[in-house]
Amino acid sequence: MLSQFAQRRNADSEWALLLLVGFALIAVVLLIGILFLLTLHKALARCRPRNRTMEPAMVWLNLIPLFNLVWQFITVIRVAESLKQEFRSRGWSRRGVDYGYGVGIAACALGFGGWIPVIGPLLSLGSLICGIVYWVKIAGFSGRLARGAYYYDDDEDDEDDEDGRPRRRRDEDDEDDDDDRPRRRRRYEDEDDRPRRRRD
């Protein structure tokens, strides 16, 4: 009798431990998801309103079960479009940069295959890796928008300004190379008491 009670008590404790571990895993996954969506929210918030194709608060709709299966694709597409328009308006756009579109769509698509028998775990692992790469990319673009630093790459083409004129690359030491002789000449032209040659 005592042995049966002890066995039952051990079984109950094991179930309680399993439930505790399960809730802990769910909490960790939820926390990671919230941090990920917070990164997307910040990236959109740092884009000018006219350049956004999606409001920052709408990324939190990905927390809705089942609905997020479709909304995650829309989120990836619209975040990429918003970043592209923002970078272009700031004159930072580069040829060949998709702003996380490719790896983001891959992460979503591979996540769907996680339910397939046999190859499902492998596809889920691929989705996790692509998701991490996408997260890092978006965090990098968001940080660049926050810093507001101007940069050029070797393969970057000169963009045109909004009024159609080509933008000129300006080096850091351009100001030191400016010639101030026209400035001095203009100063004398504007003055009436310029030095005149004395006549004998």
| Rounded (5°) CA angle 177-182-187 | 130
The answer as to whether 91 is a domain residue is yes
pLDDT of residue 112: 87
Would residue 134 count as lying in a domain? yes
**Mean pLDDT, the chain, integer:** 78
Containing structural domain, residue 41: 2-147
SS3 96: coil
Q: Is residue 33 part of a domain?
A: yes
Among 168, 148, 157, 137, residue whose Cα is nearest residue 95: 157
SS3 assignment, position 65: coil
Establish if 197 belongs to a structural domain. Answer: no
Asked if residue 57 is part of any domain, the answer here is: yes
Whether pTM exceeds 0.95: no
User: How many Cα atoms are found within 13 Å in the side-chain-facing hemisphere of 194?
Assistant: 11
Tally the domains of the chain.
Answer: 1
3-state class (DSSP) for residue 13: helix
Comparing 194 with 88, the larger pLDDT belongs to 88
Partnered with residue 11 across adjacent β-strands are: none
Give domain status of residue 16, yes or no. yes
Does residue 70 fall inside a structural domain? yes
Asked if the structure places residue 158 within a domain, the reply is no
